[in-house]
Amino acid sequence: MSLTERQRQILKIVRENGPIIGDEIAKNLFLTRSALRTDFSVLTKAGFLKSKPKLGYTYIAREEKRYIKDIMGDVVSVDSELSVYETIIKIFTKDVGTMFITEKNSLVGIVSRKDLLKIAIGKNDIERVPINIVMTRMPNIIYCEENEPIIEGVKKIIEHQIDCIPVVKIKEVKGKKIYELVGRLTKTNIAKLFLEYYSK
């Protein structure tokens, strides 16, 4: 179930202060109780809140379903025509362990610090070698779609023993799949979610 921002705020107030009456919740949100009547009804029927006479609302220990798009980080990528040298500069400037490679914002490859180290210590002219020569290409890339449940992304990170997964929107253009890069799911994103959950 998708909740509105106001409904999320109501849940937060009840979770932190419950049991709490409707008038107090409305006061916290600078609204009238009547303005929140529909929200209270939705949250109660959906099983997020329980209403008790004279006591008010209490939070029921369950969480709304969350998706990868809710916690993913920003895109960090380079164009496939950039050199290995330029990619090394970017990966250290952005302080990431994995760099996504794109063509017109479509994911075409991925490269890790380890991949870059291997080619850098060789006798290659890394200022002339394009990154698309050394990257791992589709379809050999583990990825997530933005509307997948978070648990699916966590499973992929554990199963494949990787630190970061590209998040994509899949489109079809002239019969060809296009993987539009929209974010990145990392172990840090998951750790922050874990901290948020246990800090409640």
Question: What's the pLDDT score for residue 65?
Answer: 63
Per-residue pLDDT tens for 138-168?
Answer: 889 999 999 998 989 999 999 999 999 999 9
Residue 198 has pLDDT above 70, yes or no: no
- CB distance 186 to 107 below 8 Å: no
- Beta-carbon contacts of residue 110 (< 8 Å; ≥ 6 apart): 98, 99, 100, 101, 135, 136, 141, 166
Q: Which residue has the tokens 């978070």?
A: 150
- Beta-carbon contacts of residue 95 (< 8 Å; ≥ 6 apart): none
**Domain segments of the chain as ranges:** 5-59, 68-194
CA dihedral 87, 88, 92, 98 (to 10 degrees): 70
Per-residue pLDDT tens for 29-48?
Answer: 999 989 999 999 988 887 78
Name the helix (H) or strand (E) containing 127. Answer: none
Question: What's the pLDDT score for residue 185?
Answer: 97
CATH superfamily of 68-194: CBS-domain (3.10.580.10)
Question: What's the pLDDT score for residue 53?
Answer: 84
Question: What's the pLDDT score for residue 62?
Answer: 55
CATH architecture for residues 5-59: Orthogonal Bundle (1.10)
Residue 11 has pLDDT above 60, yes or no: yes
